[in-house]
A and B are shown apart, each in its own frame.
Chain A
Amino acid sequence: MKSMEELVNVYFRPGRLPHLWCPGCGNGVILGALLKAIDAEGLEKDNVAIISGIGCSSRASGYVDFNTANTLHGRALPISTGLKMARPDLNVITLSGDGDCSAIGGNHLIHAVRRNVGLTLVVFNNSIYGMTGGQYSPLTPIGSRATTAPYLTIEPSFDILALAQAAGATFTARATTYHVPVLVDVLRKGIRHDGFSIIEVVTGCPTNFGRQNKIGAPALMMEWQKDHAVPRAAWEKLDDEARRGKFPIGVLFERTDEKEYTKAYDEIIERAQAAKKEETA
Chain B
Amino acid sequence: MLKFYTERCKGCGICAYFCPRGVLEVTELNKSAIKSGKEKDCISCGQCEMRCPDFAIFVQKEGA
Contacts and interface: CB of A to CB of B under 8 A. Distances in A.
A218 B14 contact: yes
Interface string A7-21: 010001000011101
B55 A8 contact: yes
Nearest to A181: B50
Interface residues of A, number: 26
A18 B12 contact: no
Q: Considering residues B18, B51, B56, which has the most beta carbons from chain A within 10 angstroms of its beta carbon? A: B51
A212 B60 CA distance: 38
A217 B17 contact: yes
Nearest to B9: A18
Given A27-B53, A29-B51, A219 B3 contact: no
Nearest to B15: A219
A140 to B, nearest CB: 21
Contacts of B18: 219, 222
Interface in A155-205: 177-178, 180
Contact of A180 (B11, B17, B51, B55): B51
Interface in B1-34: 3, 5, 7-8, 10-14, 17-18
B17 A18 contact: no
Contact of A24 (B3, B7, B53): B53
Nearest to B64: A3
A32 interface: yes
Nearest to B18: A219
Contact of A26 (B7, B53, B60): B53
Given A4-B58, A5-B58, A219-B18, A24 B51 contact: no
A27 B12 CA distance: 13
A141 interface: no
Counting from the closest, the 4 A-B pairs by CB-CB distance are: A28-B53, A24-B12, A219-B17, A23-B10
30 contacts: A3-B58, A3-B60, A4-B55, A4-B58, A5-B58, A12-B55, A18-B54, A19-B54, A22-B10, A23-B10, A23-B12, A24-B10, A24-B13, A24-B14, A27-B53, A28-B54, A29-B52, A178-B51, A180-B50, A180-B51, A206-B12, A217-B17, A218-B12, A218-B13, A218-B14, A219-B14, A219-B17, A219-B18, A222-B14, A222-B18
